[in-house]
Amino acid sequence: MKRITFYLDFVSPYAWLAFERLPEVLEGLSYSVAYKPVLLGALLQQHGNPGPAGIAPKRDWTYRHVTWLGHAEGTPLQMPARHPFNPLPLLRQSLACSDDGHINRFVAGAVLRHVWQGGHDALDAGRLSALAAELAEQIRPGQDAASDAPKALLRANTEAAQAAGVFGVPAFEVDGKLFWGLDGLPMLRAYLDADPWFESGQWEAAGQIGSGLPPRG
């Protein structure tokens, strides 16, 4: 059985779409998934990447694209009332349900649906209280979103993701290989199916190609 680490931040619509698609894409395979919340903003900042929402025309396109993808794939997706937003309360709420930095599929799904279904404000105080109540049976004793432990777990998760080369979400790690994005899911499936391409040397060769751009000053 292969163990897949799924790096996600609830602010990402592609993380929601990938969460819904993953069981279908990997149907018939023997695998387990460890869902690992990380702070996307820190991953982007590490590489000087403003993200899609930091470029106005790309922001518009991204929102249109993900809404269409939800329609095309049959995944309910409505943009929240405000986006982007600070995901820290949601990340910490999810990790209040964790001892080791990983969350289960129930917790991940509950938080993702909170953001991506209904078109509401993800940070509305009443809705956050309702989410905490929905997760009450999952929350570790003595913990909540404001506790020190979830904050430490989020920091450790994000630092581990940075060290592993994760630059965005959703990202999937298996056997030390990283697959990024919703459109990386077919490639992940191929790897788990032992596609001979992965033994051809082309995976490694791609990382050896020289850059034609001058060094960044």
Q: What's the pLDDT tens digit per position in 161-185?
A: 999 999 999 999 999 999 999 999 9
User: What confidence score (pLDDT) does residue 47 get?
Assistant: 87
**Is 0.75 surpassed by the pTM of this model?**
yes
pLDDT at 205 over 90: yes
Among the listed residues 100, 87, 88, 105, the one whose alpha carbon sits nearest the alpha carbon of residue 153: 100
* pLDDT confidence of residue 215: 79
Distances (CA, A) of 146 to 17, 91, 117, 138, 141: 28, 11, 25, 16, 13
C-alpha distances in angstroms, 112 versus 1, 116, 178, 186?
26, 6, 22, 22
**CA 4 centroid distance within chain:** 13
Mean pLDDT of the chain: 96
pLDDT, position 17? 98
> pLDDT per residue over 40-64, tens digit each?
999 999 888 888 888 999 999 999 9
Least confident interval from 6-10, 50-54, 85-89, 116-120 = 50-54
- Note the pLDDT tens digit of each residue in 100-116: 999 999 999 999 999 99
* Local structure of residue 36 (DSSP, 8 states): E
* Residues 124-131, mean pLDDT to the nearest whole number: 98
- Please tell me the CATH code under which domain 2-202 is placed: 3.40.30.10
pLDDT of residue 51: 83
113 CB burial (10 A radius; 0-12, 13-18, 19+): middle
Q: What pLDDT score was predicted for residue 154?
A: 98
Checking if the pLDDT of 217 tops 70, the result is: no
Report residue 200 CA to chain centroid gap: 29
Q: Between 52 and 122, whose confidence is greater?
A: 122
pLDDT of residue 92: 98
Over residues 19-38, the mean pLDDT reads 97
Between β-strands 31-37 and 2-8, what pairing exists: parallel, antiparallel or unpaired? parallel
Q: What is the DSSP letter of 84?
A: S
